[in-house]
Amino acid sequence: MRIGIIGKGRVGSALATGWRAAGHEVQLSGRDTTPGVADLANWADVIVLAVPYAALENIAATITVTDKPVIDCTNPIVMGPDGMGLAVGHTTSGAEQLQALLPGAHVVKTLNQVGAEVMADTTGFAHAPVQLLAGDNDAAKATVAALLSDLGLEALDAGGLSKARLLEPFALTWINQAIAQKHGRNWAFGAMPRAVQ
């Protein structure tokens, strides 16, 4: 599969390494290289936005997407008097805003609930790290779930794209534990079903 990652930072680089190791063809483009971003979106079967939330509007104005999954890894975070918080929530989400900007795309929210360190290497965990995903197109979600599995992550379907309103604050829970509570970045959430008795 051809995967185009917009964003060459830690997240974009980690995802590129993991998907290349799984046999996918991956190309990256910096978010500021406008011609490269447009060409990458045309080339890719799946587009990944691994950029700051504030960059989404400019990127969406640069690319044209029709009937392709777009993975939204961003977190709509702002700093307020009480520290980090959400820029949007309750009645919408960053992912829903992105879908409105790219009406021909199939936006899937995921890969925002863990750090790049775990995306790059999922070995050593007692259970596969979990990534919830939300989107309105079942085929796009199935494609993205398979890509998550290729990274060694367990994909859990959270429902339609409106459920990104749950996933985006859930990302803040990970960030709070990693930074404010000083657990570091080398950990992840997991799902542990009870054994049948």
Number of Cβ atoms within 10 Å of the Cβ of 149: 14
User: Residue 135, SS3?
Assistant: strand
pLDDT digits (tens, 9 = 90+) for 133-146: 999 999 999 999 99
Instruction: Identify the pLDDT of residue 148.
Output: 98
Q: Give the three-class secondary structure for 16.
A: helix
What local confidence, expressed as pLDDT, does residue 195 receive? 85
Res 33: pLDDT: 67
Q: Report the 10 Å Cβ neighbour count for 51.
A: 24
Token pair, residue 164, equals 């990104």
Structure confidence at residue 83 (pLDDT): 78
- SS3 assignment, position 96: helix
- pTM over 0.85? The answer is yes
The mean pLDDT of 81-89, rounded to a whole number, is 82
Reading the block at residue 52, the tokens are 């700051």
Q: What is the pLDDT of residues 87-127, one digit of tens each?
A: 888 899 999 999 999 999 999 999 999 999 999 999 999 99
What is the average pLDDT across 71-99?
A: 89
Kindly list the domain boundaries of the chain, sorted by start residue. 2-180
Residue 61 has pLDDT above 90, yes or no: yes
At residue 82, what is the residue type? D
| pLDDT: which is higher, 36 or 27 | 27
Report yes or no: 132 and 158 within 8 Å, Cβ to Cβ: yes
- Binning pLDDT at 50, 70 and 90, where does residue 31 land? low
What is 2-180's CATH number, 3.40.50.720, 2.60.40.1180, 3.50.50.60, 3.40.50.12780? 3.40.50.720
